[in-house]
Amino acid sequence: MKRYSAFAIAREAANYHQGWERAWAKRAPKKRYDAIIIGAGGHGLASAYYLGKNHGITNVAVLEKGWLGGGNTGRNTTIIRSNYLQDPSAAIYEKARSLYETLSQDLNYNVMFSPRGVIMLAQTHHEVRGYQRTAHANALQGVKTEWIGPERVKQLCPIMNIEGPRYPVLGGLWQARGGTARHDAVAWGYARACSDMGMDIIQQCEVTGVTSEGGKVTGVQTSLGDIGCNSLGIVVAGHSSHVAEMAGFRLPIESVALQALVSEPIKPCMDVVVMANTVHGYMSQSDKGEMVIGGGTDGYNNYTQRGSFHHIEETVRALIETFPMISRLKMLRQWGGIVDVTGDRSPILSKTPLEGCYINCGWGTGGFKAIPGSGFGFAELMAKGYSPLTAEFGMERFREGRFIDESVAAGVAH
Amino acid sequence: MLTLKCPYCGVQACETELSPGYEAHLKRFGPGSSDDDFETYLFTRPNVKGVHFERWRHAYGCGKWFLAARCTTTLEVFGTYSAQTPAPPAEIIEAIKSKRPDWSPET
């Protein structure tokens, strides 16, 4: 792999940019791999990357039904934060956030991590108490967050109307090192690094079955033929239940649609990410100037990547109250993704009833921020059978009543 | 926009009038049941990609719960029926089979 650098740009410019290589190689699947990851989204590619980087397992294939990063990795609002209440969540999300800090250098690929700061607004007295509690929890966890008053919120984001008629801003939970990153670049950067380690990234290869012998996984059936493996990682987000069914087990997951939208580009007007959970909308401004807006999920099972129109209306209506200046903005694009929501709104990184088969799913509406930490922990789990990062996220926690209850802690938009 | 016909009041209700209630025909297990059964009832879901039976409430209409058969990959609605039934009625099964010949109630 030729390294990307300022020098490389100068060298290629002198050569009319004829010399750039493909970022990742296109290869046909081999007969057998040490490990197969199903799903070439952020989480799947990160898992493969850390399998190679941290554990020396490079005979790996990443299989993808569609195209690389075309699922929720390409459909989210790119927010990165780690201000969670529960200790296991804070640990894995903070690991992810800290890996994002140096990800561009690690991958030699600019993921445009922008630690611009994230404010989670408190607009009711319940939220004030909740976020103050989270701020204290974060202090104990070593995650740097701060409870700030309404004046400081206004100072950080002057376009906000903090005296809203329905929900005035009473303060916020401020994480200065949270922010955003370029979502596609995260997938592309991991893919390029995986390919450089000799891993095969095989797109348009749909897994149609999982083969096993004596309770142990032996491989997968795909649209490109059968492929053998010693261990299998299922990292397919919205389709987790569907693939788990092939492997012979069921999950505590419902798949629903989550939508996002962007406005026409405007001049820079906000340099932080704002999340408003009471009214259920969140917004940031992309480097192109578009306002990137997200809201709540639909309430019914759905695999179509299309959501309900009235949720867009509710989200935009909520944000207009807090940000009156966006009321005249035109919306450019809207899209949906299928998110896999668990009972306690926390992910599952776990062994499964099928030996050698592991699953990484249930990130629901908040997976992008976790990509590096999720891959880091899941790779360790696959390579060693145990990871301190993922220990609490086993699928048996539902049976045992050990929930990591972020649905109570975060309420929504998480 | 998803519209479902309320089987009680007959109104063709749009989804803003309705509250979703997820999977229908759950077999309930209580005290004394095995851990497996209790876990399955509380958490584990087939989360079907295809024909899905689900609960809805006509929240801003007559207020009653009813059941619907809907496809989660196309959002096509096959029919709605009363919640006072332990299994989908024959006419709903028929309506699904006329559009999904390969489908059988067990899957």
List, for residues A95-129, the tens digit of each pLDDT value.
999 999 999 999 999 999 999 999 999 999 999 99
Residue A164 sits in the same domain as residue A198: no
The enclosing domain of B23 has a CATH number of 3.30.2270.10
Distance to chain A for B90, nearest Cα, Å:
23
Q: Which two tokens stand for residue A106?
A: 């690690």
The enclosing domain of A56 has a CATH number of 3.50.50.60
Of A342, A363, A391, the position where a domain reaches its end is: A342
Residue A196 sits in the same domain as residue A335: no
The enclosing domain of A330 has a CATH number of 3.30.9.10
- B16 in any annotated domain: yes
- Contact criterion met (CB below 8 Å) for A173 and A147: yes
Residue A225 sits in the same domain as residue A261: no
Determine the straight-line distance between the first and last CA of chain A, rounded to whole angstroms. Answer: 37
Note the pTM of the prediction, 2 decimals: 0.95
Residues pairing with A348 in the sheet: A361
Q: Which stretches of chain A drop beneath a pLDDT of 50?
A: 409-411, 413-414
Average pLDDT of span B7-24: 95
Q: Nearest residue of B to residue A298 by CA position?
A: B20
Would you say the C-alpha torsion A88, A74, A302, B62 has a positive or negative sign? Answer: positive
- B107 in any annotated domain: no
Q: Any CB–CB contact under 8 A between B76 and chain A?
A: no
- A4 in any annotated domain: no
Residue A277 sits in the same domain as residue A130: yes
The range of the structural domain enclosing residue A279 comes to: 118-181+255-342
Q: Which pLDDT score is estimated for A318?
A: 87
Burial class (CB in 10 A: 0-12, 13-18, 19+), A28: exposed
* pLDDT of B106 above 90: no
Q: Which pLDDT score is estimated for A411?
A: 45
Residue A342 main-chain phi, psi, to 5 deg: -95, 170
The range of the structural domain enclosing residue B43 comes to: 3-99
- Pick from B1, B39, B44: which is nearest to A309 by CB? B1
Number of inter-chain CB pairs under 8 A, A vs B? 68
Indicate the helix (H) or strand (E) that contains A339: strand A331-342
Q: Which pLDDT score is estimated for A408?
A: 55
Which of A310, A318, A375, A388 shows the shortest CA–CA distance to A99? A375
The total domain count for chain B is: 1
